[in-house]
Structure 1
């Protein structure tokens, strides 16, 4: 009998906390937490373990993401945030996407790859995802 009352009280408390969390977790200017982005700049894009070390020895995957004029063959990413603390390439902004899924559409028959890595935003989409409201990583 005691276990049943304790379970009911815990369930009620969790329900109240969840309801309060829903009411407070939706500000009017909430940032987007995940975004799918197709490459759109004409660059091939490497996936790096560290956004401050841009060299082939630090690549997270052996394959670069490829831009193609054929939209069915253009690769893409799913990202959950962006950072401005990485290295700059070619005098462009130091914006990087924290990438959690890579779509290699140019490699026919390849499934999405789920590796956390960093992609250089100016090469992915000219930073459109950042301007579209994707959340900042704060790291």
Structure 2
């Protein structure tokens, strides 16, 4: 289901890019602009100030077995952890569950893509961060 939603979003982004391209610079037509990425890699995920695990954690960890997800806005290169690549997602929101309640928080930070979803959001066409 998640892949289906991502493909639909990617298709919508591509269609929008074609219509808007004459008016403004946009990411490549086949790139998704952003999207929700459920924690599906079997790892808990820290939210950091920057793209390495030595930087400060901004929030508590997200737990993969609780149905957590992050809203990725773009990706960039950073620290490689356990030879799983150097892709980090910038996020602006997270969903997590505590005490049986679903929480949605606006956050600003970086998460390691391999620990979120094995870099699937990156491979699905998330735009590279430009600033």
TM-score, normalization by structure 1: 0.70
**How many angstroms apart in 2 are the aligned matches of 1:41 and 1:28?**
27
Gaps of 5+ in 1: 1-20
- State the shift of 1:110 in Å: 4.6
- 2:20 is the counterpart of 1:22: yes
- State the shift of 1:105 in Å: 2.5
- Structure 1 partner of 2:103: 111
- Structure 2 partner of 1:81: 74
Larger Rg: 1
- 2:90 is the counterpart of 1:98: yes
- Structure 1 partner of 2:64: 67
Report runs of 4+ in structure 1 exceeding 4 Å deviation. Answer: 25-28
TM-score, normalization by structure 2: 0.74
Gaps of 5+ in 2: 1-18
Q: CA RMSD in A?
A: 2.2
**How many angstroms apart in 2 are the aligned matches of 1:27 and 1:101?**
21
- State the shift of 1:59 in Å: 0.2
